[in-house]
Amino acid sequence: MRRKDREMDRDWGLQVIDRAPFAVLSVTDTHGDPYAIPLSVAREGEYLYFHSARSGTKVDLLQSQPLVCMTFVTDVNVPELFSEEELEEMRTNGDKAPDIGSKVFTTEYASAIVYGKVESVTTEEGKRRALEVICRKYAPDKMALFDMAAASGMKLTNIYRIAIEQITAKRKKYDAEGREMKGGREE
């Protein structure tokens, strides 16, 4: 990671994964070209779970190219660190130019990148558990219907898991005084 001052620890990265509304799965296709697809992903322990249809490009690639990278991003925000008067002063005062790029045209974010090997979940018990983990993340208020949905959809669905082999996490965030919170500093 180039920006070590923004690096966060593994546990913090796992929290990003748990909060992320989706992730982007990246693989290399059989021609050596990149292929990326957004997915609904849920984590349990050291595993990430997602589902798919029984056939298609993603299914073919995951069978032939099991090494994957998955990216999660949350807390995206363009911070408002300056008043209108301060922004006008920056516009007219060349000495303030460094703040324009780094503090005006910037984005706060939290991110985690996971590397691992994807594998199919094949047992009925494993598939059911993985679907439950996914459903608890995305539709926790509808779990009373889970058994019925799982029974009818299991035969139509592939379930995959990725063991988290490596994770990196990074954050850009400003505190209330407009100072970037580097080195994992909390407010």
SS3 call for 154: helix
| Better pLDDT: 128 or 2 | 128
Please give the model's pTM, rounded to 2 decimal places: 0.88
**What's the mean pLDDT when you consider all of the chain?**
90
Residue 100 is predicted with a pLDDT of 76
Question: How far from the centroid of its chain's Cα atoms is residue 96's Cα?
Answer: 35
Confidence category of residue 46, pLDDT binned at 50, 70, 90: very high
Q: Helices (DSSP H) in 8-165: which residue ranges?
A: 10-19, 57-64, 84-92, 97-99, 124-138, 146-153
User: Which residue type does 94 have?
Assistant: G
The per-residue DSSP string of 34-69 comes to: EEEEEE--EEETTEEEEEE-SSSHHHHHHHH--EEE
Q: Which residues are registered as beta bridge partners of 163? A: 47
Domain 4-79+107-172: state its class.
mainly beta
Residue 5 is predicted with a pLDDT of 67
Q: Are 26 and 19 in contact (CB under 8 A)?
A: no
Tokens describing residue 176: 């209330």
Each domain of the chain, given as residue ranges in start order, spans 4-79+107-172
Residue 186 is predicted with a pLDDT of 75
List all residues 6 or more positions away from 185 whose beta carbon is below 8 Å from its beta carbon: 175
Check residue 46 and report its DSSP letter: T
Residue 153 is predicted with a pLDDT of 83
What average pLDDT does this structure show over 39-44?
Answer: 97
> Do strands 166-172 and 108-120 pair parallel, antiparallel, or not at all (unpaired)?
antiparallel
Question: How far from the centroid of its chain's Cα atoms is residue 74's Cα?
Answer: 7
Window from 16-25, 84-93, 106-115 with minimum mean pLDDT: 84-93
Window from 47-61, 76-90, 120-134 with minimum mean pLDDT: 76-90
Taking each helix axis as running N to C, give the angle between helix 124-138 and helix 146-153, from 0 to 180 degrees, rounded to the nearest 10. Answer: 130
Confidence category of residue 180, pLDDT binned at 50, 70, 90: confident
Dihedral Cα 5, 9, 12, 18, nearest 10 deg: 110
Q: Are 127 and 159 in contact (CB under 8 A)?
A: yes
Q: What is the pLDDT of residues 125-175, one digit of tens each?
A: 999 999 999 999 999 999 999 999 988 888 889 999 999 999 999 998 888
Tokens describing residue 160: 């995959």
Residue 1 is predicted with a pLDDT of 59
